[in-house]
Amino acid sequence: MSIQVRNVQKQFGDFVALNDVSLDFAEGELTALLGPSGCGKTTLLRIIAGLERADSGQVVLSGQDASATHVRQRNVGFVFQHYALFKHMTVFENVAFGLRVKPRAERPSEAKIQEKVKSLLQLVQLDWLGDRYPSQLSGGQRQRIALARALAVEPRVLLLDEPFGALDAKVRKELRRWLRRLHDELHVTSVFVTHDQEEALEVADQVVLMNKGTVEQFGTPEAVYNHPATPFVFGFLGNVNLFHGRLEVGDSGGLLHTGDSVLPVIGSGHETAGDAVAYVRPHDLDLERYAPGTDGIAVTLRRALTLGPVAQLELEREDNQDVIEVALPLERFRHQGFREGELLAVRPRQLRVFNRGQAVQEQGAST
Ligand code: ATP
C-alpha cells in the first residue's frame, strides 16, 4: 500500500508540531523518519496510523483519502519502543491475539491460527519460545515478538516508533539488520521513527529528515548523506566543519574568502555573493606539510587520535584559531609522519557553500 501525506498541519495549542508536511511513501519501501527530539516524527506516524487527527491536510492510503477512516479500518500494524506484550499470555497467545479478537465472520479457524502463529514465530526466528511468558524473554526477543504480533493480522502498512530504542547498542545493531532482512522478505510498506542517524542510513530505502515540524529532505540514504539539501541535514548526518567567509561568484564557479585563505567551492548555483558558510566533512579534507605559498588553510596539528583504521585529527587554524577536524586513513597518516605541534595546510576536496542567512537560520533551528 502506498501512503501519501498531503499538506498536513498539526498544532498542540499554539505549538506547531507539523507544518505543511507532504510526503510520498512508495509501496513496499522501508522509510525512516529521522530527526531530533520533538521535531514531529511520532506525531506524523500517529497521523498516518489514524491515532491522531491532522488539523488540515490529508493522508491518502492506496490512492484513497483515509482522513476519515478509523484506525481499525486502516489495516496498519504497530510496534512501539516500549511495546507492552500481555504479561499473562504466553508468546504464542500474544501473537495469536489479533487473530482471536477478529469479528467471528473474519476469524480464522483454530487450526489456521495455530499454523499462522507457528509460521510467524519461525519468521522472527523464535519458534522455540512459544510457551514462554514475556518476562522470560530478553528485550530484543520481546521486540521480535511484538513485530510478529503486529504482522499476524497481515497489515498493509507497518509503523514502528523507535522499535529498538530501549535496547543496548549491540542488540540494536543485530535487530536492525534483521529488520532489513525481514522487510526484504515481506515487502510490507513500512515507516519507522528513529533519532539514530546510523540506524536510518543503514536500514532504510528512503530517509525523511525532519526538523521543527517540517521536512528538510527526503531521499535515499546515499542522497541525503552525500548531497545534503540544507545546512541542517549536513550537520545532523555526521561530523562537519564550518568555514565562515565571503563568497565571490564568477563564471567558472565560486571562491570562498575565509580568513587568510581563498578556497574553490561547489554550490547549488543558487548562492549569491556575500557572507557565506561552507560545509565540509572531515574525510573530505586533504592535509600536507605547510610551506610558504601552499594553497589551503594553515593549521597546527593539536591532537591525533589513532584508534581504529582512521586517524581523527584536531587542527587549529593559524588565522582565527577555529578548530578543524580531519579524518585520514591511518596508513596515510603514519606514512606522512605528521607530528603534534607541526604546521600543516588543509585543503577541502569538496566544499559545499550556503548563504549566511540560510545557514544561520537553519543552524538555529537545529539546536
Ligand atoms: P521524540 O524523538 O522525542 O519522540 P518526536 O520527533 O517524535 O520526538 P513528537 O512526539 O512528534 O516528536 O512531538 C512533537 C512536538 O509536539 C513536541 O514538542 C511535543 O512536545 C509536542 N506534542 C506532542 N504531543 C503532544 C500533545 N498531546 N500535547 C501537546 N504537545 C504535544
CATH code at 305? 2.40.50.140
Q: Taking Cα atoms as reference points, which of 192, 210, 157 lies closest to residue 20? A: 210
Rounded CA separation 178/289 (Å): 46
> Residue 39 Cα, ligand 1 centroid: separation in angstroms?
7
Q: What is the pLDDT of residue 151?
A: 87
- Same domain? For 182 and 272 the reply is no
- Considering the domain architecture, whether residues 170 and 83 belong to the same structural domain is answered as yes
Please check whether residues 217 and 298 belong to one and the same domain: no
**Who has greater pLDDT, 177 or 334?**
334
Residues 37 and 148 in one domain: yes
265-301 residue pLDDT tens: 865 566 688 888 889 999 999 999 998 888 889 999 9
Question: 51 C-alpha vs ligand 1 centroid, how far in Å?
Answer: 14
Average pLDDT over residues 180-203: 91
Please, are residues 266 and 352 in contact by the beta-carbon 8 Å criterion?
Answer: yes
| Rounded-to-integer distance, Cα 86 and Cα 100, Å | 14
Assess contact for 322 and 274: CB atoms under 8 A: no
How many Å is the Cα radius of gyration of the chain? 25
Judge contact between 296 and 303, C-beta under 8 A: no
CA angle 303, 315, 294 (to 5 degrees): 130
Phi and psi, residue 77, nearest 5°: -105, 145
**Partners of 257 in the β-ladder:** 246, 262
- Lowest-confidence pick of 23-32, 203-212, 228-237, 336-345: 228-237
Cell readout for 322 is 577555529
State the closest ligand 1 atom to the C-alpha of 193, by its place in the atom list counted from 1. 7
Give bridge partners of residue 99 from the DSSP assignment: none
pLDDT for 90 beyond 50: yes
In single-letter form, the type of residue at position 236 comes to F
Atom 28 of ligand 1, residue of closest alpha carbon: 12
CA–centroid distance, residue 4 to ligand 1 (Å): 21
- Cα(79) to ligand 1 centroid in Å equals 18
| Whole-number Cα distances in Å, 330 to 45, 307, 345 | 42, 9, 18
Sign of the dihedral through C-alpha 123, 129, 132, 135: negative
- Domain boundary, last residue among 217, 234, 251: 234
pTM comes to 0.84
**Nearest residue by C-alpha to atom 11 in ligand 1:** 40
Q: Which residues contact 106 (CB under 8 A, 6 or more apart)?
A: none
More confident residue, 179 or 332: 332
| CATH of residue 66 | 3.40.50.300
The predicted structure's pLDDT at residue 219: 96
Nearest CA to ligand 1 atom 23: 43
Same domain, 190 and 268: no
Same-domain status, 201 and 326: no
Does residue 54 have a pLDDT over 50? yes
Of 110-114, 161-165, 178-182, the range with the highest mean pLDDT is: 110-114
Average pLDDT over residues 155-181: 84
Distances (CA, A) of 306 to 280, 283, 312, 323, 333: 21, 15, 7, 18, 9
Q: Which atom of ligand 1 is nearest to the CA of 18?
A: 14
Which of 234, 255, 285 is the last residue before a domain boundary? 234
Give 160 Cα–ligand 1 centroid separation in angstroms. Answer: 16
User: Could you say which of 202, 234, 266 is where a domain stops?
Assistant: 234
Pocket test residue of 10, 14, 19, 39 for ligand 1, highest count of atoms within 8 A of CB = 39
The 3-class SS string of the chain reads CCEEEEEEEEEECCEEEEEEEEEEECCCCEEEEECCCCCCHHHHHHHHHCCCCCCEEEEEECCEECCCCCHHHCCEEEEECCCCCCCCCCHHHHHHHHHHCCCCCCCCCHHHHHHHHHHHHHHCCCHHHCCCCHHHCCHHHHHHHHHHHHHCCCCCEEEEECCCCCCCHHHHHHHHHHHHHHHHHHCCEEEEEECCHHHHHHHCCEEEEEECCEEEEEECHHHHHHCCCCHHHHHHCCCCEEEEEEEEEECCEEEEEECCEEEEEECCCCCCCEEEEEEECHHHEEEEECCCCCCCEEEEEEEEECCCCEEEEEEEECCCCCEEEEEEEHHHHHHHCCCCCCEEEEEECCCEEEEHHHHHHHHHHHC
Tell me the C-alpha distance between 166 and 117, whole Å: 26
Pocket of ligand 1 (CB under 6 A): 12, 15, 17, 35, 37-43, 195
Residue nearest atom 10 in ligand 1 by C-alpha distance = 42
Q: Give the distance (Å) from ligand 1 centre to CA of residue 42.
A: 7
- Domain, as residue range, for 66: 3-234
Same domain, 10 and 36: yes
Based on the fold, state whether residues 118 and 221 are members of the same structural domain: yes
CA of 195 to the centre of ligand 1 (A): 13
**Claim to verify: residue 253 and residue 227 sit in the same structural domain:** no
Confidence band for 173, pLDDT divided at 50, 70 and 90: confident
Q: Which of 245, 235, 294 is nearest to 265 (CA)?
A: 245
Total of domains in the chain: 2
